[in-house]
């Protein structure tokens, strides 16, 4: 989440190509990551799950969530492995307002930005906002590296295999299949106790 978008909020959900559900449904996608436990939580997995739960309090309704995945740090380092997932959401927030809201939630979980690719308690990346294509100082849409990252594409293809990359025109499933098999290994993780299971959510 590093640049600026200049488009208004998405309108009512419709079944146009490229939306998060492929046929109809939420059209805003957010990637989640954590490899440090925030204060008061036992693990990065609990931190990530609590971060998702927090979104309903700030005007973001989670409609679908992937399973949690474990992934190696990118680029490779001696950091702990990451917990990753993708959610499809509905919100009245325009892209830049949504970005600011996500940054505020991250900060609430102790996220501190120091050097690039540093370990973090919570990462909430705006991946796609209703097919917006925009390059600005604070936000690039769609996310400029989502098509290169298995830890994004694996959970994205799980909940929205027919979602199409607004610029490349390929589906999430196609982008995932195009990655070299040995690149960025990931494996599924169990849902933490006390938090909703993956699948369809109705906030």
Catalytic residues: 111, 120, 123, 125
Provide the pLDDT for residue 163. 95
Provide the pLDDT for residue 73. 85
Beta strands in 37-178 (DSSP E): 61-65, 68-71, 82-90, 123-129, 134-135, 140-141
Beta-carbon neighbour count of residue 180 at 10 Å?
Answer: 7
Distance (Å, rounded) from C-alpha 196 to C-alpha 53? 9
Provide the pLDDT for residue 199. 62
Provide the pLDDT for residue 183. 77
**Which run of H or E residues covers position 34?**
strand 28-34
Instruction: Check if the beta carbon of residue 60 is closer than 8 Å to that of residue 91.
Output: yes
Residues 6 or more apart from 11 whose CB is under 8 A from it? 130
**Domains of the chain, each with CATH number or no CATH:** 28-200 (3.30.70.560)
What pLDDT digit, counting tens, does each position of 101-112 carry? 999 999 999 988
Give the closest residue to 156 by CA, choosing from 180, 132, 174. Answer: 174
Residues in the chain predicted with pLDDT less than 70, given as ranges, are: 1-26, 115, 197, 199-203
């Amino acid at each position: 989440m590093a640049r600026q978008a200049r488009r208004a909020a998405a309108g009512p959900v419709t079944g146009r190509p490229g939306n998060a559900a492929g046929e109809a449904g939420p059209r805003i996608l957010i990637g989640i990551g954590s490899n440090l436990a925030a204060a008061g939580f036992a693990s990065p997995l609990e931190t990530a799950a609590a971060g998702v739960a927090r979104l309903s309090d700030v005007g973001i309704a989670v409609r679908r969530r992937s399973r949690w995945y474990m992934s190696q740090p990118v680029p490779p380092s001696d950091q702990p492995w990451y917990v990753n997932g993708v959610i499809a959401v509905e919100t009245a927030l325009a892209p830049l307002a949504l970005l600011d809201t996500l940054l505020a939630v991250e900060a609430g979980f102790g996220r501190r930005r120091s050097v690039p690719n540093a370990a973090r308690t919570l990462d909430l990346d705006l991946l796609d906002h209703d097919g917006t294509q925009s390059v600005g100082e604070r936000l690039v849409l769609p996310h400029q590296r989502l098509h290169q990252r298995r830890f994004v594409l694996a959970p994205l293809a799980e909940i929205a295999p027919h979602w199409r990359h607004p610029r490349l025109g390929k589906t999430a499933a196609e982008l995932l299949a195009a990655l070299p098999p040995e690149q960025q290994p990931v494996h599924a993780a169990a849902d933490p106790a006390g938090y909703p299971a993956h699948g369809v959510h109705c906030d």
